Amino acid sequence: MDTAGTHLTGGSTGAGAGAGPRPAPGPRRPSPLRGQSAVVAVVSVGGALGACARYGAGLLWPTAPGAFPWTTLVVNALGCAVIGVFMVVITEVRPAHRLVRPFFGTGVLGGFTTFSTFAVDTQRLLTHHQVRAAVLYLAGTVTAALLGVALAAAATRGVMRARMR
């Protein structure tokens, strides 16, 4: 025990004689991030590409202050439809390289679709006292996104079944 009444637990503390040898370290657990640099890299590159595409959509179809944010709604619905097609293709039709899903699904489509702009657009509508438009935008975006995924996935499955015949 030390002067504070606590037990010393092995190892040299630099206090001099009496301190025992430091116990051998146990086996090291591998870091959960070990071997993930390629995944991080492809998600980063894909995200940059998707964000550039979304930015381009905003330049081609700008939303005036206080106007209904059609561009963000269409981008999010389109991105969800594309992910519906993509997930059916890589999970049910043709297995893809392990980096395709993080690159395209998480990176490109994650960068293209945008929850943050969706939230800011909603806040802007509310700031302009357009409560009805904000509620319609919230409900419309979620509905369009869910329908986009479901209908695109179902259509892709139908096309794949027809091609198999």
pLDDT digits (tens, 9 = 90+) for 25-36: 777 777 666 778
Q: Round the average pLDDT of the chain to a whole number and report it.
A: 88
Residue 137 inside a domain? The answer is yes
Residue 65 lies in a domain: yes
For residue 62, being part of any structural domain is answered with: yes
The model's pTM is: 0.75
Residue 143, domain member (yes or no): yes
> What number is the average pLDDT over the span 117-144?
95
Residue 75 and residue 54 in contact, taking contact as beta carbons nearer than 8 Å: yes
Which tens digits make up the pLDDT trace of 69-123?
999 999 999 999 999 999 999 999 999 999 999 999 999 999 999 888 999 999 9
Number of domains in the chain: 1
Structural domain includes residue 72? yes
Query: What CA–CA distance (Å, rounded) separates 19 from 13?
Result: 7
Residue 66 lies in a domain: yes
Asked if residue 12 has pLDDT above 70, the reply is: no
Can you tell me the distance from the alpha carbon of 64 to that of 119, in angstroms, rounded to the nearest whole number? 16
Domain interval for residue 73: 37-164
Does some domain include residue 115?
A: yes
**Regarding predicted confidence, which is higher, 148 or 4?**
148
Q: Which residue has the higher pLDDT, 128 or 19?
A: 128
110 is in an annotated binding site: yes
Summarize the confidence of residues 9-35 as an average pLDDT.
64
- Tokens 């389109």 sit on residue: 78
Quickly list H helices, the chain. 37-60, 70-88, 100, 109-112, 115-127, 131-164
Top-confidence residue, 5 or 54? 54
Q: Assess contact for 127 and 58: CB atoms under 8 A.
A: no
- 71 annotated as belonging to a binding site for a ligand: no
Q: Is residue 150 part of a domain?
A: yes
